[in-house]
Structure 1
C-alpha cells in the first residue's frame, strides 16, 4: 500500500474512533498514528484469519467411523491391535482399583467415600470408560472383518462411536492437564506422599494416553475445544456446590484443592478462569500434535509404498486386509 493511502486510511480510522489517540498528539507526532494504524490493521488481519479458519472448521465433515477402530499404521484391525486395546482397558482398570483402595500408598487414609471428589479420579473414570468402549468397538470391527464383502468405509458414526470419540479427546487432554497442574500447583511434599500410587495417578495416566495417542487414528478437531472445557466448567461448579454443602477433603480441610478454596472467591475465580484457558490452549496443542502425527505417518507410508490413512468422509475406500484368525 502506498504511504499516502496508508495515511488516509489511518486518519479515517482515527476519525471513526477506532484508535483511542488524542487528535492533538496525532498532529504533533506523525509516528503515533502510523503505529496505531498498523496495530489496528494487524488486529483486523488476525481476526479475519481466525474467523476464516473457524468457518472452514465448521464445514468439516465428521470423520469416518473406521478411523476410531483401527491403528494409525494399518487400515485394518489386526489381532495385535485387538489385544492392545484390551490391555489398555486392563491398565485403566488397575488404575481405578488402585486409586479407590489406595494400593501403593505409603500412608493410606481409607476414606473411600471421598474418592469421587477429586479431578484426578474423574480422569481415571473417564479413561476407564473410553477404554472399555474402545475395546468393544474394536472387537466388533475385528469380527466384521471376517465377512468377505465387508467394507470398513460403510461403518456409521453412531452414538456409541461419537461417545467414544468425545471421551477419548477429553481423557487425553484431561490426563495431561491433571499431571501438569498437580505437579506445578497442587503437590505439597508436607501433605502428599511421593509413592507408587501418586506416580501412577499423576504420571502414568499421561504417559498411557500419549502412547495411545501415537498408536490410534482418532482425530482431534480444533472446533471441539468445548468438550474438555465443559468438563472443566462442570468440575468448577461441583467444587462450589461441595463447598456450600460443607464438604471436606481427605485431610479434613474445607476445600478439595487448596488452589480452589471458595473462602477466597476472587482468587478462586481467577484460578478457575486460568484453568479453563489452560484446557483450551492444551486442546489446541493436542490438535497441532495430531497434525504432526498424521504427517509423520504419511511420510513413512510414502517411503514404504503403502496407502496413507485419511480421516475425511469423502475419501476413497482403502483396501481392507482380512484380520488374522486366532
Structure 2
C-alpha cells in the first residue's frame, strides 16, 4: 500500500515569526505635538533592536495593545500581528495566516497548506490533494489515483488500472484488468480464482496528527517615542543657529517633555545631515545642531537629562542620489533632528 505523506504543517510557525516590531502607548503623551503647525513633523512610537539601537523603519505601525503592522517598501508585502495570538503575512501571491487557536494556513499561488488546530490538516496544489483528519485517517488524491487510510487498520489504493484493499483484519485484495488476488486473512487466498497459501496482511498503521500551531506572541513594549523635526525649518542651510520659526515646535516639545521633574531617563537628541560637503564637516555640523536643540530645550525649562549626538550623513532615511542624479527631496528628508524620548 503506498504511503500517505504530508508536508510538516508545524513549519508554519517559522513562516509567522517575522513580526518583531515593538510598541508602546508613549506617543499618547505627546499628542500635543501632532497639533503643531510644522510641515514634516512626525511623532511615532520608537522601535529598537535587541541591543537597544533605534530601528528607523517608518513602514512599521504600532498600536499600543500588542498589535502592529508592517508594509514593505515595494507595496507587495504586509505583515500583521493582532495582539491576540493571531497574525498574517502577505507577500505578492503568498499569504500566511495564524488564527491564534492552533490553526493556520499558507497559500502560494495554487498551493495551500492548512492546519485546523485539532490534529487535522491538508495540502492542496494543482495536482495533489492530501488530507490528515487527526483521528489516524487520511487521504492522498493525485489525478485518477487515490490512497485512503481509514485509521482503523484498513485502507485502499485505486488508480485507473488497479485497486488495492486492506480490510484491517488480515484480508485484502489486488485487482487489475488481468489479475485478481484475494487474501482471506486466514492463511488462504486466491490468484485469478486459483487457491493458494497467503500470509494474513498486517493492518495499516494509523496516520499521525498535525501538531497545533503556536500562537503569535503580542508585540513587546517599545523603547519610547521618536519625534522627527525637519532641518529646513530648524536651521538655514549649513548653519547650526536655530531659526525664529523653530520656536513654536521647540515650545511644544519642551511642554511634552513635562517640565523639570517629569523624566529621569535620558532623552537623546540626534543631528543628521545630507551628503553635501565632506564627512568631517557634516559630522561637526550635525553635532552643533543637536547641541543647539538641547540648549533650546534646557532654556525652555526641560529638566530631563538631554544628550546631544551628531551622526552627520551616516544614517540617511532617503537616497541623496538616484542613479547618480541628485535627489533634492531625499536630501531634504535627511536633514533632520530626531528626538528619542524613552517611556516614562
TM-score band by shorter chain is: under 0.3
What TM-score do the two structures reach when normalised by structure 1? 0.20
Say which structure, 1 or 2, has more relative contact order (CA 8 Å, 6+ apart). Answer: 1
Q: Which has the higher helix share?
A: 1
What TM-score do the two structures reach when normalised by structure 2? 0.19
